[in-house]
Amino acid sequence: MKKKRKKRKKKRKKKKKKKRKKRKKRKKRKKKRKKKKKKRKKKKKKKRKKRKRKKKRKKNKNKRKRKKRKKKKRKKRKKKKKKKRKKRKKKRKKKKKKKKKKRKKKKKKKKKKKKKKKKKKKKKKKKKKKKKKKKKKKKKKKKKKKKKKKKKKKKKKKKKKKKKKKKKKKKKKKKKKKKKKKKKKKKKKKKKKKKKKKKKKKKKKKKKKKKKKKKKRRKKKKKKRKKKKRMKKKRKKRMKKKRKKRKKKRKKKKKKKRKKRKKRKKRKKKRKKKKKKRKKKKKKKRKKRKRKKKRKKNKNKRKRKKRKKKKRKKRKKKKKKKRKKRKKKKKKKKKKKKKKKKKKKKKKKKKKKKKKKKKKKIPFYITCKCMISSIILEIYVII
């Protein structure tokens, strides 16, 4: 056994040296990326710790042998990939030319849309013809199916012999079920009326209570795990709500700023200018403001804006209180006068017209059918 162990150690040492030479080359490539992107490395460090634990667990001999076979195949594939990459560069240049041709074809398809409107009239005629053909075909198919059904009946007779053996087993099961149902009904009725003390003693002797205790312990462990997941979900929901509120506040504040800027610019200009010139300038300024939103992403710039907004809010509140009181007084007086006048005029005119027309047009002889029949009989008798 001692001789065998010495041989194994020598083999391992040789393989480790080969691996180290390759790892050094890979590390050099990663160092160049580290200088450019420093913020993204915090997440990657956590993953590396997990990989180290896996190496310690793999100590079985069978697992080591499988690794050796896989590494030999990978060496051959690396050489082939380098040759293919040079060819791909030439192919990519050709694909750019093909895209230009496809765009020209799309313009021709737009003309075909106008012709589709004329074809709708022909489709209506075709639908009527199809309905007539379907009804004739259905009658022919029904006659053929009747002949096939007669042949299938002969096969069913052979299968009945196998089913007889299974029926004997089913009869035994049915007898057991009937006995159980009768016992349950008799026991419940007798014990409830006569003996109440015996029921309590039997429940204590049963083993059902032991099972309940085990279930409670398992549930407690599950609840602890669920709480951790729920807390993560609740935090995400709270953060989403806070972000939405901040966005709404920012939009409202930006709109208020725009209105103030417009008023200040108008005061600086002379009022003798025409109104048409002012309208054109407003449209141009709105386009420029949309571009500024994308560029303002630094946190320092947003903090400065908030300090300015707090000072402006105090001035606005004083102006709003005075304006609201004036508007309410004017609206109440106008609404009361209009409603009273309209209602009185319409009701008087409609009532007078309806009463006069009904009295003149309703005669008694036309409405009563008995009077009409009696008058006709008297005329025939006289003749």
Tokens representing 12 are 């391992």
What would the two tokens of residue 232 be?
Answer: 């993560």
Hey, is 271 helix, strand or coil? coil
Q: What is the largest CA-CA distance in the chain?
A: 153
Amino acid 373: pLDDT: 78
The alpha carbon of residue 52 and the mean position of all alpha carbons in its chain are separated, in whole angstroms, by: 40
Whole-prediction pTM: 0.11
Give whole-number Cα distances, 224 to 169, 230, 234, 314, in Å: 51, 10, 16, 50
First to last CA, the chain: 150
| Structure confidence at residue 245 (pLDDT) | 75
> What per-residue confidence (pLDDT) applies to 237?
76
Q: Distances from the Cα of 77 to the Cαs of 17, 69, 81, in angstroms? A: 22, 14, 6
> 347, 344, 343, 254: which is closest to 305 by C-alpha?
254
Return the CA Rg of the chain. 48
Domain boundaries, the chain: 223-265+299-327
- pLDDT for the residue 381: 86
Give the span between the Cα atoms of 241 and 235, in whole angstroms.
10
Q: Which residue has the tokens 């915090």?
A: 42
The token pair at 365 is 């002889």
- pLDDT at res. 355: 62
- Average pLDDT of adjacent 10-residue blocks, the chain of 383 residues: 54 53 53 56 64 65 63 66 62 61 64 64 62 62 61 61 61 61 62 63 64 61 54 73 73 63 61 55 64 66 61 66 66 65 64 61 60 81 83
